[in-house]
Amino acid sequence: MKAETLKKAILQYAMQGKLVEQDPNDEPASILLERIKTEKEQLIKDGKIKKEKPLPPITEDEIPYELPKGWEWVRFNDATLYSTDYVANGSFASLRNNVNTYKTENYAILVKTQDFSTNFSTNLTYIDKSSYEYLSKSKLYGGELMLSNIGASIGKVFIIPNLDRPMSIAPNSIIVKCLNPLMTTFFKYIILSSYGQDLLKSFTAGTAMPKFSKTQLRNSIIPLPPLAEQQRIVEKLEQILPLVEEYGKNEEKLSKLNSTLPDKIKQSILQHAVQGKLVPQNPSDEPASVLLNRIKAEKEQLIKDGKIKKEKILPPITEDEIPFQIPNSWEWTKIRNIAFVTKLAGFEYTKYINLQDSGEIPVIRAQNVKPFSLNLANLKYIDTDTSEMLERSALTKPCLLMTFIGAGIGDVAIFDKNSRFHLAPNVAKIEFYNQHNNIDNRYAMYYLLSNYGKQEVFKFLKATAQPSLSMDTIREVMIPLPPLAEQQRIVTKVEELLAIVDKLKKG
């Protein structure tokens, strides 16, 4: 799926009311329409726009899909203050006689859609003051919506910048004035959605030179949410769409990998998450340094109780080892400092394990460990006595599982079952010292499955005939650790965004 197609799909979810939750306390769109009507009446009273004939009511046959409660299907013209274009100022003959254009600096800019591609830096078209005054019905002040209405450019939409100088619209575009900047941005997203693009194409079907008029645009119907929900939709889109555009910048290089697009977006989400860029930091959060001190105390008690062995003191992480900067409340640490890492030893497997197709204790093999989740199909089993004898490699509490050899090397999933399971060879368990709920397993999993986490894991990969990771190399993996509260916020946001990506993947 191309970035542009994915963008339209995301926008279409937004225009169907499926991107953010509805709030029954929102002022409904019907009240917003009354405010727009009042504002238009004032513009008519002030002589700034002309009074228009009422548009016909929307019929059932025109409605393409059902909207959430509080939304309204509405004529485009009834949801905007006004729309106009270059030819609103007079006939083609009078425009030729009264408008002079220049390629050198002059009084006002005649804004073309091409100007947005150069950020208004080159190849501008100018008009003199008398031409600008003649084009009184299409003056621009900044903040208007601009739609191309002819040829291959149909479907392009822009918001006019404030250039602090006189501007007017060029031919072959329509400008739209909305009630406020928020609605302007929302209307831009309507046009860019699949619904909006299909709507514009429907105006030009069967014509030799595609073109649509402002009358067609005014008569069209669009979905209008409550203003508060528009705000939530815009905020959500402005969070998601940059991730899509990041992919789009590399679209040519990735054209052969289009089938993996959702995974690319997932990686972008994960990378933002583990750098502290996905959710805001809260200065009230208990910093990760305090969390690490609690883990250290818990670990020391386990050593004292003889449950784990005391390890050799290793040097602290140096500045040269740190791959990227993290927020001040976060800490870099190593897995060995915060988790117990182990496996089923090869000699234990050879001597004691006899896998069966049915039995008492399910065994997690490498084929069961998939990125993000366990696949519990085709399980093998051992008896309870064997599992209890090999207690170190039993699975009895929530932890992470990582494949450390073979085809799925580096794959990570969460084990969170209430019943006893056991490790098979090729799978390691990472069991965090979590007596006080210090680490969210999901955050740690998302880090290890992010590109940064994978790079950290694979820098220790043994370059043998069958690449593998030792338990010591897994223990040496560095992890950026946020405060627990922020871990949980990150997990919530990641899962929300990944769910959207999964919906898009399923079509």
Separation CA 477–CA 454 (nearest Å): 10
| Sequence ranges of the domains in the chain | 16-233, 275-484
Q: How far, CA to CA in Å, does 190 sit from each of 6, 187, 194?
A: 15, 5, 8
pLDDT at res. 136: 94
User: Which residues sit opposite 468 in a β-bridge?
Assistant: 405, 462
Whole-Å CA distances, 132 to 98, 125, 145: 10, 12, 19
Long-range contact set of residues 270-273: C-beta below 8 Å, sequence gap at least 24:
270/446, 270/447, 270/449, 270/450, 270/451, 270/494, 271/450, 271/451, 271/452, 272/243, 273/446, 273/450, 273/490, 273/493, 273/494
Helix 227-249 × helix 261-274 angle, to 10°: 110
* 430 CB neighbour count, 10 Å cutoff: 25
The pLDDT of residue 445: 97
* CA 336 remoteness from chain centre: 33
- Residue 294: predicted pLDDT: 94
With a CB cutoff of 8 Å and minimum separation 6, the contacts of 494 are: 269, 270, 273, 278, 442, 446
User: Which residues does the chain have with pLDDT short of 70?
Assistant: 1, 206, 250-261, 462-465, 507
State the pTM of this model.
0.53
What integer pLDDT is reported at residue 260 of this predicted model? Answer: 61
**CATH code, residues 275-484:** 3.90.220.20
* Residues 127, 236: Cα–Cα separation, whole Å: 40
Instruction: Please report the sign of the dihedral spanned by the C-alpha atoms of residue 6, residue 9, residue 15, residue 21.
Output: negative
pLDDT at 313: 79
CA separation for the pair 180, 144 (Å, rounded)? 10
Task: Tell me what pLDDT residue 210 has.
Answer: 87
DSSP 8-state secondary structure symbol assigned to residue 507:
-
* pLDDT value at residue 355: 92
Q: Could you name the CATH architecture of 16-233? A: Alpha-Beta Complex (3.90)
Q: Do domains 16-233 and 275-484 have the same CATH topology?
A: yes
